[in-house]
Amino acid sequence: VGFSVQQRIVQLERGELHIDVAHDPTRPLSVIAGWPYCQAVGTAFSVRIDDSQQVEVLVADGRVQIGVPEPGTADTDQLALTREMANKILISQAERVLLNSGEESVEVLEPEEIEAQLSWRSGNLIFRGESLATTVSEVGRYTSVEFVIKDEELRRVRVAGLFKTGDVAGFLSSLEANFDIAYERTDDETVLLFAATSLPTDDSN
Amino acid sequence: MIRISKQRPFAATDWRIYFSRSSYTVAGRRLVARAFMAFLPLCARFGLVYLTIGLCVASHAHASDTLTFDIAKARADLALIAFAEQADRTLLFSFDETHDKTANRVSGQYEVVEALELLLAGTGLSISMGTQGQLSVVADADSNGDTVVNKPKSILARIGMALTSAVVGSSAIAQESNGTGTQNASAQTSRP
């Protein structure tokens, strides 16, 4: 975080942040995340970097300008970084853009989708049809446990519901009760998930 | 280690102090085990039922809590998310089995399972509550539109489960007096 009389800069290295910007045209707020950066214009927005360095920007209110530094701009020159930019994209309320994905397309979200996307701020994760693979990846970000799906078919199962961040026991019991998914802890940090029907049977003898 | 906030003096209402992996845990479990064994004949004489019902209620407190719900009539998956949010619990279910159904409006004070029953009545979704209080919501294969509610099988099953948990000592109560008042400390096993 670097605040000066000229501007406010927040650098996001990993994870996700949500900002409600106090509007000040003489002192704009910029978020630098990976190679693009976002410059807020009186707005509320979230920025997220995933493991593959894709940057997602979601605007809850107002507008956000996204740009890329001009070639040759030194990373350390943050003032120049936020003034000299190319490939500007302007996204507005209820819009989301995924950067570094090859095609920067702007997507318009329904209010319920925005609420789900930002539910982490209140300690909940909301799922509305995401695959189990995506679900366990998201849940894993909020726990100290890594979930590994052993059955390929399970990865595509579509999940809805609410996960209270940190509630690993509730998560596993919900998978067990509603998806017939069994689990096995291999150590304190890894849980294997597989279809209960694929459980090895010991009662053969 | 006992964790007590040092922000303010200990108050008489601070009867819950959570701690784990301490000598108090062992002492607390022994205390409960001894109390239970001493109390058992009296229970048998004066009515085991009252004790066991009490233990059952305690073990399912989270499922029988009365909460205020205000859920609009909506697509079943969205209504269930609202339910989970208002019940303050993790609940994941199949999107494919729920998104094409419409749940009922629920408004008022209900037990968790009761609210879920009302929410999904007539949707063809089956509700069950597991022995640990986990909720299951799945579509009936031969649904005729009626919602099937499966609660824990019988009072005997509940009694057995409650007695087992009491003997094992998954939670224990210990007391210590510090001269300024009595503190009850609830010991909880650490997360698996």
Give every strand in the sheet of A181-187, ordered side by side: A146-149, A190-195, A181-187
Write out residues in chain A with pLDDT < 70, as ranges: 1-2, 4-6, 35-38, 40-42, 68-87, 100-103, 198-205
ipTM of the complex: 0.74
Q: Given CB atoms, is A175 within the 8 Å cutoff of chain B?
A: yes
**CA B188, CA B17: separation in Å to the nearest integer?**
10
Question: What pLDDT was estimated at residue A70?
Answer: 62
Least confident of A181-190, B3-12, B58-67, B140-149: B3-12
Q: pTM of the full predicted structure?
A: 0.61
CA distance B71 to chain A (A): 14
pLDDT band for position B37 (cuts 50, 70, 90): low
Question: What pLDDT was estimated at residue A189?
Answer: 86
CA distance A201 to chain B (A): 23
Asked if B192 and A185 come within 8 Å (Cβ–Cβ), the reply is: yes
Asked if B90 and A177 come within 8 Å (Cβ–Cβ), the reply is: no
Of A80 and B127, which is predicted with more confidence? Answer: B127
Asked if A161 and B90 come within 8 Å (Cβ–Cβ), the reply is: yes
Interface test with B, best of A114, A159, A173 (most B CBs within 10 A): A173
Asked if A173 and B134 come within 8 Å (Cβ–Cβ), the reply is: yes
Asked if A178 and B81 come within 8 Å (Cβ–Cβ), the reply is: no
CA distance A30 to chain B (A): 33
Phi and psi at residue A201, in whole multiples of 5°?
-95, 130
Question: What pLDDT was estimated at residue B35?
Answer: 61
Q: Given CB atoms, is B33 within the 8 Å cutoff of chain A?
A: no
Secondary element (H or E) of residue A139: helix A132-141
Question: What pLDDT was estimated at residue A79?
Answer: 52
pLDDT at B10 over 70: no
Asked if A178 and B88 come within 8 Å (Cβ–Cβ), the reply is: no
Of A75 and B119, which is predicted with more confidence? Answer: B119
Q: Given CB atoms, is B76 within the 8 Å cutoff of chain A?
A: no
CA distance A58 to chain B (A): 21
Question: What pLDDT was estimated at residue A75?
Answer: 54
A166 to chain B: closest CA residue = B90
Residues contacting B173, CB < 8 A, separation 6+: B28, B31, B32, B184, B185, B186, B187
Question: What pLDDT was estimated at residue A191?
Answer: 93
A161 to chain B: closest CA residue = B92
Phi and psi at residue B174, in whole multiples of 5°?
-130, 155
Chain B residues within 8 A of A163 when measuring between CB atoms? 90, 92
CA distance B100 to chain A (A): 12
pLDDT at B184 over 50: no
List the one residue out of A156, A122, A126 whose CA is nearest residue A139: A126
Q: What is the mean pLDDT of chain B?
A: 61
Question: What pLDDT was estimated at residue B36?
Answer: 54
Model confidence pLDDT, tens digit, residues B77-103: 999 999 999 999 999 999 999 999 999
Asked if B95 and A159 come within 8 Å (Cβ–Cβ), the reply is: yes
Of A134 and B38, which is predicted with more confidence? Answer: A134
Which of B95, B132, B191 lies closest to A173 in CB terms? B132
Interface test with B, best of A147, A178, A184, A187 (most B CBs within 10 A): A178
